[in-house]
């Protein structure tokens, strides 16, 4: 005579696979949300750090460096270096985003003409929502999320 527990155990064969098939889509959906939010947080913090570091570099540059002309974008060389600093710090997220716009300003215009009162770095990161595009389309009006980092500092060379 066989023990009773073997009879019950035999009838439960395959139930784990069925339960997993039911629960796995729900679990993956619940996991995708926090991963998407974490990705956006990573992009935002990278943009903030890049804007802060390039603005700090600009704020501590000498007046002679600010007046020295450059070749790219018709801006001062030090402004080009500040742009390069921001680009290097955003290098990890470039492949994951659609567009990154970096704007360097001295007194709300381009650098190079006079000694500024303030320096500013403005970074705009456009991230495509590949996971919840229909939800972001409904709630945000677009399938992209736009994050901006705007850092202004007083120029210390005055």
pLDDT tens profile 1-17 = 566 665 555 555 678 88
How far apart CA 144 and CA 29 sit, in angstroms, is: 20
Q: What mean pLDDT value characterizes the chain?
A: 82
Higher pLDDT, 141 or 28: 28
Bridge partners of 126, per DSSP, are 99, 146
How many domains, in total, are found in the chain? 1
Which pLDDT score, from 0 to 100, does residue 57 have? 92
- Report the range of poorest mean pLDDT among 65-74, 102-111, 124-133: 65-74
How far apart CA 23 and CA 120 sit, in angstroms, is: 50
Condensed to tens digits (0 to 9), the pLDDT of residues 37-62 reads: 888 899 999 999 999 999 999 999 88
Range of the domain at 120: 4-154
Which pLDDT score, from 0 to 100, does residue 51 have? 95
Rounding to the nearest 10 degrees, give the CA dihedral for residues 11, 17, 19, 25.
-170
Count H helices and E strands in the chain, helices first: 5, 3
Which pLDDT score, from 0 to 100, does residue 45 have? 94
Condensed to tens digits (0 to 9), the pLDDT of residues 96-128 reads: 787 899 998 888 877 777 788 899 999 999 988
């Amino acid at each position: 005579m066989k023990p009773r527990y073997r009879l019950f155990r035999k009838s439960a064969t395959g139930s784990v696979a069925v339960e997993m098939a039911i629960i796995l889509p729900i679990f993956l959906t619940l996991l995708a949300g926090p991963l998407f939010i974490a990705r956006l947080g990573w992009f935002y913090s990278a943009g903030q750090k890049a804007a802060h570091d390039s603005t700090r570099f600009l704020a501590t540059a000498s007046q002679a460096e600010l007046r020295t002309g450059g070749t790219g974008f018709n801006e001062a060389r030090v402004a080009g270096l500040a742009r390069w600093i921001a680009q290097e710090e955003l290098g990890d997220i470039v492949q994951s985003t659609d567009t990154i716009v970096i704007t360097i300003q001295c007194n709300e215009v381009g650098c190079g003409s006079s000694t500024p009162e303030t320096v500013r770095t403005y970074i705009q990161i456009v991230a495509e929502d590949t996971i919840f595009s229909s939800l972001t389309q409904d709630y945000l009006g677009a399938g992209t999320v736009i994050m901006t980092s705007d850092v202004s500092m007083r120029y210390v060379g005055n």
